Structure 1
Amino acid sequence: MADFDYDLFVIGGGSGGVRAARVAAGETGARVALAEEDRYGGTCVIRGCVPKKLMVFASEYAHMPETARAYGWDIADGALDWDTFHGHLVKELDRLEGVYRNLLKGSGVETFDQRARIADPHTVELADGTRKTAKHILIATGGRPVRPDMPGAECGIVSDDIFHLPKLPESVLIVGGGYIACEFACILHGLGVKVTQYYRGAQILRGFDEEARGLIAEAMRERGIDLHTGTNIVEARPASEAEEGDMTAPVEAAQYGRPHAVTPDGPVWVKATNGNTRVFDTVLFATGRRPNTDDLFLEDLGVKLGRNGQIVVDDYSQTDVPSIYAIGDVTDRVNLTPVAIREGMAFVETVFKGNPTKVDHALIPSAVFTQPELGTIGLTEEQAREQEPCDVYCTSFRPMQTAFAGRPDRVLMKLVVSKETDKILGCHIVAPNAGEMIQLAGIAVKMGATKVDFDRTVAVHPTMSEEIVTMRKPMRTA
């Protein structure tokens, strides 16, 4: 190893890259370096999971006064002070970035705050022209949101931009129907923004359980989100460039020329596929993400890329070039932070501890932080039906807390069970704090629990989650 500057060079300072770097250095004594061109912590800590969840928490207080009054509390409605919240948010992200930097420093990892690319299978070239050699190179550059290919797409923002808004817009159009689009629709609505959402598909949250998707869509509309499915936009332009004859839908005159507009050219005029045109303070494109592999010159080295630009790796995260590995969103396998961390740990076990380790990508619990939340693990009812005969146990009801307050909120508890083995093939929960519930249910499902195992578990009463162990008769057979 003395022939190289380092035993390992990591490109990317997100959760997966940082974990791999500090464990390799701290637990095996490897000489490790890491390069990051932006902020340490990556998508999750700086512009994804963490700030988004803090915004979820902030948005959930919107309904608190009304609910509290139903319980006898004399609490008046209030309004969000964006400057106060955003100031606290920035401080927290700065603190977390400092934690990541200190973890690397404490483990003996040398860091370079600049962009890096791969010059050859054992050489990394930094933005300042410096070259460093390493026996192994690990790519953990993550992914980024992309704008659609359409006229005027530059007039809108993407999810990364949400956390940098100087002020909240009064109105926003969210384009997209995936989990990011739906989460921000609920967040911004809760923060007091008038939210319209367009999605070209028949139903939001494609790929999730159909019944759960429907309940969430219904809840979003009940809360006041103007959700349109089967609708997309074909053109956008600054509202100042739109002529009076372009308007086919009512537009408030005050929407023009607002000094606090958050997009570079002010409010945005959009035209939808149904021919309608409207003006919004802001347009948010949540129409997909792409792995960060541009300008790494990987294909020139023999590293194979997939159709979406992702790095193709084997079960041990190794590319077609033996010295180059990749983990996390840049591989577009399962794009979740805990998965990237697992992949980073497995990489260290395989390469530096001599213990070849695969990451198990099956039965991974996940959550969508809409309002209400969706927690899910395993097969949807639709997927299970195509695989084998199964029984579907489900219940939907108004939870005690909000029913008492006269709110229409409903929750869903659902188990998809194999008729042959009685194993739980899928568990889907739509409810407040469903993410917390699915983590615990996920342990049982991952262990191969059967419906009988759930049945013989005593319920915790009175809770929403008790319904997951009290459903005795299937609602239908799939």
Structure 2
Amino acid sequence: MPSIAQHYKYLVIGGGSGGVASARRAAKHGAKTLLIEGKALGGTCVNVGCVPKKVMWYASDLAGKLSIAKDYGFNVAGDFSFNWSTLKEKRDAYVKRLNGIYEKNLEKEGVDYVYGWAKFNPDGKVEVTSHDGKKVVYSADHILIATGGQTALPSEEQVTGVKLGIDSDGFFELEKQPKRVAIVGAGYIGIEFAGVFNGLGSETHLIIRGDTVLRKFDDIIQETVTSYYEKSGINVHKQSQVTKVTKNEDGSLDLLLTTGKTVQVDELIWTIGRKSLLGLGLDNIGVKQNEKGQVIVDEYQRTNVPNVYSLGDVVGNVELTPVAIAAGRKLSNRLFGGDQFKDRKMDYNNVPSVVFSHPESGSIGLTEKQAIERFGKDQIKVYQSKFVSMFYAMSEHKSPIAYKLIVQGDNEKVVGLHIVGDSSAEILQGFGVAIKMGATKADFDNCVAIHPTSAEELVTMV
């Protein structure tokens, strides 16, 4: 690395998806840029999130396909046992390669980067403590806070023995596959982990406070995924919370639930939510935060402090990697790209998102309840289709598909699309473009169906 200057045009705190994207775009516009990262480049998504999670999902999905290969005439009498350690080693090596690619891309764009923990000092400058304890102070014309989030755990007062469990980061550190595992939480992280473990053969317990999983999604997703998880062998403990965790002599854990039931497992994983990763000395410069501890920004990512900006999970809103990347690039375009970019900002409407459950589920736009609240029940119409993919026609095993299309007004503008079933992520990406462009039900109908596919149902609903 070249020697690091003390003053920069642009300084980015956080080497995750949003920070890296913004830093690279700023440098491309000619701004001298410094990026500071405390752990590993790529942030949560690359290191303990989307990327390694999808690797594990692929393994579990493959296990499911192997289990029905015989129904297609394949001789699968051989040993198809799964080796968790082998996959972990290859997965970790893949992530490490990605870390190196991130470094090379920064260097290629001319972005300086340092590893260490940053905070604002009383003078308003950024003090970085490196991993060897050395401190260096930097200043900049513009500063971006893009530190992302961190896992949240219950307190010891809420759950006795809470620290006997691990968080989602700890999931990626597991050296061996637990025979029995409990996941606490009904959000997308918990649902994805539960699907992975169950698909790979672990006895899986899912402990949720309500009656359905994925409660922020449309009812069709909640009900379909919850029902299928129960049918696929996952022990879903509804209306339940953990109150006490006890470790036994053999290393197993006893979980006492609010229902009075005790569940014994080998591993407990908390997936009850995330919170902003701060501790940056924001009080020294007066950056405001909301009641959730998130940095408050306007529609142009500006904080209340001049020339200090923030984006990504640390501000909340739509906490998705592609959203942080898009917001980061738009910010740097506005700051350093010239007048043609001055009014361009991130649009948080109609952002598609998926859950890598088993089967996958995806959503864009309003849920049915949200659409009714916004437009009134007489102004919306709902089209639905539930069926089983042709892929399972040869097998006794059946995986569900459920599609819901929500339209509004006389022209039936599509305001929501919610899908569950194999390949939902790939399907939603294409339909997301149409919905973002303002497609109507007639536009969907005018598209000739591709047959035989599952997605053709989306353009043939009546």
Q: Which moved more, 1:368-377 or 1:74-83?
A: 74-83
How many corresponding residue pairs? 444
Distance in 2 (alpha carbons) for counterparts of 1:299 and 1:220: 46
Report the alpha carbon displacement of residue 65 of structure 1 after superposing the two structures with TM.
Answer: 2.7
Q: Residues 403 and 409 of structure 1 are in contact (CA less than 8 Å); yes or no, is this contact kept in structure 2? A: no
3-state secondary structure, aligned to 1:312: coil
Give 2:58's aligned residue. Answer: 57
Q: Give per-residue Cα distances to partners, 1:378-421, cap 9 Å, x unaligned.
A: 01111112222211100101111113212122101110011333
Report the alpha carbon displacement of residue 177 of structure 1 after superposing the two structures with TM.
Answer: 0.3
Q: 1:371 aligns with which of 337, 342, 358?
A: 358
Report the alpha carbon displacement of residue 122 of structure 1 after superposing the two structures with TM.
Answer: 4.8
Residue segments in structure 2 that go unaligned for 5+ positions in a row? none
Structure 1 segments, 4+ long, off by >4 Å, are: none
Give 2:228's aligned residue. Answer: 219
**Structure 2 residue 293 is matched with structure 1 residue 306:** no
Distance in 2 (alpha carbons) for counterparts of 1:4 and 1:61: 50
Q: Give per-residue Cα distances to partners, 1:203-242, cap 9 Å, x unaligned.
A: 11011010221011111111111112211111113223xx
Identical amino acids, percent of aligned pairs: 40
Distance in 2 (alpha carbons) for counterparts of 1:343 and 1:450: 28
Distance in 2 (alpha carbons) for counterparts of 1:4 and 1:353: 23
How does 1:438-449 map onto structure 2 within 5 Å? Answer: 438-449=428-439
Distance in 1 (alpha carbons) for counterparts of 2:345 and 2:124: 24
Q: Residues 214 and 221 of structure 2 are in contact (CA less than 8 Å); yes or no, is this contact kept in structure 1? A: no
Q: Give per-residue Cα distances to partners, 1:287-333, cap 9 Å, x unaligned.
A: 0100101x211134211111221100011111000121111111111
Report the alpha carbon displacement of residue 446 of structure 1 after superposing the two structures with TM.
Answer: 0.6
Give 2:391's aligned residue. Answer: 401
Q: 1:291 aligns with which of 249, 269, 276?
A: 276
How does 1:68-217 map onto structure 2 within 5 Å? Answer: 68-76=69-77, 78-119=80-121, 122-127=124-129, 128-149=134-155, 150-217=159-226
Q: Residues 121 and 284 of structure 2 are in contact (CA less than 8 Å); yes or no, is this contact kept in structure 1? A: no
Give 1:362's aligned residue. Answer: 349
Report the alpha carbon displacement of residue 120 of structure 1 after superposing the two structures with TM.
Answer: 5.0
**Structure 2 residue 355 is matched with structure 1 residue 353:** no
Distance in 2 (alpha carbons) for counterparts of 1:430 and 1:278: 30
Residue segments in structure 1 that go unaligned for 5+ positions in a row? 241-256, 258-265, 473-478
Q: Give per-residue Cα distances to partners, 1:18-49, cap 9 Å, x unaligned.
A: 11111111x22111111111011101111100
Report the alpha carbon displacement of residue 190 of structure 1 after superposing the two structures with TM.
Answer: 1.1
Q: Residues 8 and 34 of structure 2 are in contact (CA less than 8 Å); yes or no, is this contact kept in structure 1? A: yes
Aligned-partner residue type, residue 433 of structure 2: I
Give 1:253's aligned residue. Answer: none
Give 1:243's aligned residue. Answer: none
Report the alpha carbon displacement of residue 4 of structure 1 after superposing the two structures with TM.
Answer: 6.9
Report the alpha carbon displacement of residue 81 of structure 1 after superposing the two structures with TM.
Answer: 0.8
Q: Residues 377 and 427 of structure 1 are in contact (CA less than 8 Å); yes or no, is this contact kept in structure 2? A: yes
Q: Residues 34 and 109 of structure 1 are in contact (CA less than 8 Å); yes or no, is this contact kept in structure 2? A: yes
> Normalising by the residue count of structure 2, what TM-score does the alignment of the two structures yield?
0.94
Distance in 2 (alpha carbons) for counterparts of 1:231 and 1:325: 40
Root-mean-square deviation over aligned CA pairs: 1.4
> Normalising by the residue count of structure 1, what TM-score does the alignment of the two structures yield?
0.91
Q: Which moved more, 1:57-66 or 1:366-375?
A: 57-66
Q: Residues 24 and 30 of structure 1 are in contact (CA less than 8 Å); yes or no, is this contact kept in structure 2? A: yes
Q: Give per-residue Cα distances to partners, 1:33-78, cap 9 Å, x unaligned.
A: 1111101110111110000001000011222233111111111362
Q: Residues 149 and 314 of structure 2 are in contact (CA less than 8 Å); yes or no, is this contact kept in structure 1? A: yes
**Structure 2 residue 313 is matched with structure 1 residue 329:** yes
